[in-house]
Structure 1
Amino acid sequence: MSLSTHVLDAASGRPAAGLAVRLERADGSVLAERHTDADGRLEDLPAPEIGVHRLIFETGDRSPFYPSVTIEFRVTDPAERYHVPLLLSPYSYSTYRGS
């Protein structure tokens, strides 16, 4: 299994480079803390086990309204690839399960 994310700044039409991202278990245990690369990607996140996890994006310097965005997701099959993109703008965000 692998876990990755890609953050795009929808207002500027550019990748969200240098954005702090934290991966946690549902119990709050921190599994990783990283920053997105120049393309807004994180490819080297540790593969989480079966269960509920969260990605926390520190978006305060990019959004006047959302200081952070938390995306909870469930891992059901450790053999699958999990890609969790974030599209961010000053007053909204969206996510989906990517491929």
Structure 2
Amino acid sequence: MGKLTTHILDLTCGKPAADVKVELKKLDESIMKEAYTNNDGRVDVPLLAGEELVSGEYVMEFHAGDYFASKNVNTADQPFLTIVTVRFHLADPEADYHIPLLLSPFGYQVYRGS
């Protein structure tokens, strides 16, 4: 059975981003999972695994503004990025999906990893 995982790298310091709130939703539904990243920038268990992982459209929200505010990183009065939203489609419930986020206070990159 497949699984969905994520991790976050803080590009301002080149280290994993710990204590970032991550929310996962199936499109047009309520929050399915809520987790925080650990010291390695990863959630402790897959966001979806086994029978939980079904085909469909999903939204993952990374609470970047709260993270950078806690680090006193932003130079602006208000954070530029508040919540980074990634919308994606999981096609194969048997596959492993990994969604890494490279994050800075003013930009980000996301991709399907392995």
Normalising by structure 2, report the TM-score.
Answer: 0.82
Deviation at 1:44, TM superposition (A): 2.6
Aligned residues: 99
Q: Larger % of strand: which?
A: 1
Provide the residue aligned with 1:65 in structure 2.
80
Query: 3-state SS of the aligned residue for 1:41?
Result: coil
Aligned partner (choices 85, 90, 95) of residue 105 of structure 2: 90
Normalising by structure 1, report the TM-score.
Answer: 0.94
Determine the C-alpha separation between the residues in 1 that align with 2:31 and 2:111: 22
| Structure 1 residues not aligned, in runs of 5+ | none
Worse-matched range after superposition: 42-51 or 4-13: 42-51
Determine the C-alpha separation between the residues in 2 that align with 1:49 and 1:65: 33
Provide the residue aligned with 2:71 in structure 1.
none
Worse-matched range after superposition: 18-27 or 60-69: 60-69
Determine the C-alpha separation between the residues in 2 that align with 1:88 and 1:24: 21
Provide the residue aligned with 1:40 in structure 2.
41
| Structure 2 residues not aligned, in runs of 5+ | 69-73
Q: Report the AA paired with residue 88 of structure 1.
A: L
Provide the residue aligned with 2:55 in structure 1.
50
Give aligned-pair identity as a percent.
44
Q: Does 1:30 align with 2:31?
A: yes
Larger radius of gyration: 2
Query: 3-state SS of the aligned residue for 2:46?
Result: strand
Determine the C-alpha separation between the residues in 2 that align with 1:82 and 1:46: 9
Q: Which runs of 4+ in 1 moved over 2 A?
A: none
Q: Report the AA paired with residue 39 of structure 2.
A: A
Deviation at 1:24, TM superposition (A): 0.2
